[in-house]
Structures are given as C-alpha cells and as structure tokens.
C-alpha cells in the first residue's frame, strides 16, 4: 500500500483522522493503564490480564500504523468539481433496480470508505464498476453475488 494512492472523500479522511487521534490518545492511555495494573499483580508469566493487555496494545499499534499509512497515501476526491453528467467517485447516484422496480441512492467512494448499509459503495464493487462513467438514462447489467442485476441510472447528484 506504500505507493498506491487511495481515493477518499473529505468526510472519510476526517473520520479516519478522528479515529487515529482517539487511538493515539485515549485508547493508548487506557491500554497503558491496563498494562500497569496487570503488572502490579506480580508474576507476568502466567498473568492473563497482562497477556490480554499486551495483545490489545499490539492490535491498537497495528491499527495506528495502518491508518497512518492510509492517510499518507490518501487522495482527496474534490466533490465540488465533479462532472455531474457522469457517475464518478465522490458523487451520488440514484438508480432503479429494474427487476424489483426499487430506487436507491448511493454514494460512490473508495474501497476503504465503502459501507453498503449506509448507501456508500466502492468503485471497485460490482455495481460501482458497472455504473462508473455512465450517464443518466443508461441501463447497465452486472453480476452480483445473488446473480445478474440490471439497473437504470435515474439521476446524478453531488
């Protein structure tokens, strides 16, 4: 990941920066306190509290390292300058599922920000790949885990 740029929205970067700040501050302090407490019990060779705190410390430090690397390689998507005539990363799109006649609105984001439950889909996902670069009125078909899906692009939003 060291050289690969990661497309992210401004909001996504802010969320990761907040998580990183929490991990470096509050979470590190809490883990450190647990370690100190576990050490105070005496012999650490058979001290489960100490082992748990050390494992948690390793997980926190790994997450901090991951987030720092991710943020260092993040490329902000300028949502103010999106081409509103095509589906693009950072923009939102309203689509119609032609089989179920259901409308959905998604934001197209980078893979690190994807969260389908919050209607944020990755440009690397099957639907993201299918609709990226398309225009209003176009119909596209793609393979989903549940089988083929056909959608029509109804609206492109900022």
Q: How far apart are the first and last CA of the chain?
A: 29
Read off the pLDDT band of 3 (50, 70, 90). low
Residue 142, Cα to own-chain centre: how many angstroms? Answer: 22
Assess if residue 44 is contained within a domain: yes
Number of domain units in the chain: 2
87, 148: one domain: yes
Mean pLDDT along residues 134-141: 96
- Out of 27, 43, 76, pick the residue that ends a domain: 76
Per-residue pLDDT of 44-92, as tens digits, reads 777 788 888 899 999 999 999 999 999 999 999 877 778 889 999 999 9
Where do the DSSP E strands lie in the chain? 6-8, 74-76, 92-97, 102-109, 120-122, 139-144, 147-157
27, 86: one domain: no
71, 85: one domain: no
3-state secondary structure of 66: helix
Instruction: Report pLDDT for 1.
Output: 46
Assess if residue 94 is contained within a domain: yes
Closest by Cα among 96, 84, 90 to 156:
84
Residue 50 near residue 72 (C-beta atoms within 8 A): no
State the DSSP code for 79: G
């Amino acid at each position: 990941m060291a050289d690969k740029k990661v497309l992210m929205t401004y909001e996504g970067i802010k969320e990761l920066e907040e998580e990183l700040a929490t991990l470096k501050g509050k979470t590190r302090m809490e883990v450190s306190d647990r370690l100190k407490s576990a050490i105070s019990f005496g012999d650490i060779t058979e001290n489960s509290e100490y082992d748990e705190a050390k494992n948690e410390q390793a997980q926190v430090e790994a997450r901090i390292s991951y987030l720092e690397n991710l943020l260092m390689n993040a490329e902000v998507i300028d949502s103010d300058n999106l081409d509103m005539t095509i589906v693009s990363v950072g923009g939102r799109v309203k689509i119609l599922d032609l089989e179920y006649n259901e409308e959905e609105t998604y934001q197209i984001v980078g893979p690190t920000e994807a969260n389908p439950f919050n209607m944020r889909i990755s440009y690397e996902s099957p639907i993201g790949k299918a609709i990226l670069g398309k225009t209003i009125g176009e119909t596209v078909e793609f393979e989903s885990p549940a089988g083929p899906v056909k959608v029509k692009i109804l609206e492109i939003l900022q």
